[in-house]
Amino acid sequence: MNLQDKVIVITGGASGLGQATAKYMVREKGAKVALFDKNVEAGLATVAELGEDSAIFCETDVTEENSIDISIAAVMDKFGAIHVDINAAGIPLPCKILDRDGRASGLKKFATVIQVNLSGVFNVMAKCAEQMAKNLPDSNGERGVVINISSGAAFEGQVGQSAYSGSKAGINGMNIPAARELGPLGIRVNSIAPGLFGTPMVKSLDEKVQQSLIDMVEAPKRMGDMDEFAHTCAYLAENSYVNGRCLRLDAATILQAR
């Protein structure tokens, strides 16, 4: 899919990898972006930076179907179509199976992570796919692309990541059935499993903590650059033959248990 003037919905688009991707798509690909996020101040600031002709912010709770409906309607009203959906919103809430006293953990924390990281992805993907199916197909028969953000933790989760890893593995598990269902409509579905990236949150950590994280990275021995992530999103959107797959973007890193 040629991204020039295409409309891209990005959840978690007001910060971190989502924001970096929004900026890259506008500046490097000439696309238009819709930022779905709960951070109003950061979202509006990003729109001001990119320009209102190229961006819109929609205050969105991905766990609330009505909130997504309102945001989708706003995008359609402004831009008239949705071509790409990048689901980057997520929470890394730790959740052990047993507490310090050996008692089973309550379900609430686990359910919260699944609700945001997995159900939220399905919610937005489905709503965007509904609109993509209405697009005229391009020369390759494409109407839309979905890119869901997983994690290396989906494969090698660390201690305390049962909820997070489960949610991210679930994202990868949706690739093939979603690709099979939506493929006849001209919509592809893939996921990215990123490793360690130099987001503002990571960069704010103590230098010793940052170095301990880098020590786990195989090669190249550094954090990923956020534009490298954004470039990968663009690649998956532009390459019409990549479908139903998870791309690990992690410098060959295998997470340790702790």
User: Is 256 a domain residue?
Assistant: no
pLDDT tens-place string over residues 51-78: 999 999 999 999 999 999 999 999 999 9
How many whole angstroms separate alpha carbon 27 and alpha carbon 35? 15
Query: What pLDDT is stored for residue 256 in this prediction?
Result: 84
Q: Are 154 and 165 in contact (CB under 8 A)?
A: yes
User: Is 116 a domain residue?
Assistant: yes
How many whole angstroms separate alpha carbon 58 and alpha carbon 11? 10
Q: What residue has token string 């970096």?
A: 20
Q: Find, among 131, 192, 165, the residue nearest to 7 by Cα.
A: 131
**How long is the chain?**
258
How many whole angstroms separate alpha carbon 190 and alpha carbon 200? 26
User: Is 110 a domain residue?
Assistant: yes
- The mean pLDDT of 117-123, rounded to a whole number, is 98
- Which residue segment(s) compose the domain that 57 sits in? 7-249
The residue from 24, 164, 235, 241 that is catalytic is 164
Is the per-residue pLDDT at 227 higher than 90? yes
Query: What pLDDT is stored for residue 165 in this prediction?
Result: 96
pLDDT tens-place string over residues 132-166: 999 999 999 999 999 999 999 999 999 999 999 99
Query: What pLDDT is stored for residue 25 in this prediction?
Result: 98
- Residue 129 has which token pair? 């796919």
The number of folded domains in the chain is 1
User: Is 72 a domain residue?
Assistant: yes
Is the per-residue pLDDT at 201 higher than 80? no
Is the per-residue pLDDT at 85 higher than 80? yes
User: Is 177 a domain residue?
Assistant: yes
Catalytic residue flag (residue 241): no
Q: Find, among 44, 81, 86, the residue nearest to 62 by Cα.
A: 86
User: Is 12 a domain residue?
Assistant: yes
The DSSP call for residue 119 is: I
Q: What is the CATH number of the domain that holds 138?
A: 3.40.50.720
How many whole angstroms separate alpha carbon 148 and alpha carbon 190? 6
Query: What pLDDT is stored for residue 202 in this prediction?
Result: 85
Q: What is the mean pLDDT of the chain?
A: 96
User: Is 257 a domain residue?
Assistant: no
User: Is 1 a domain residue?
Assistant: no
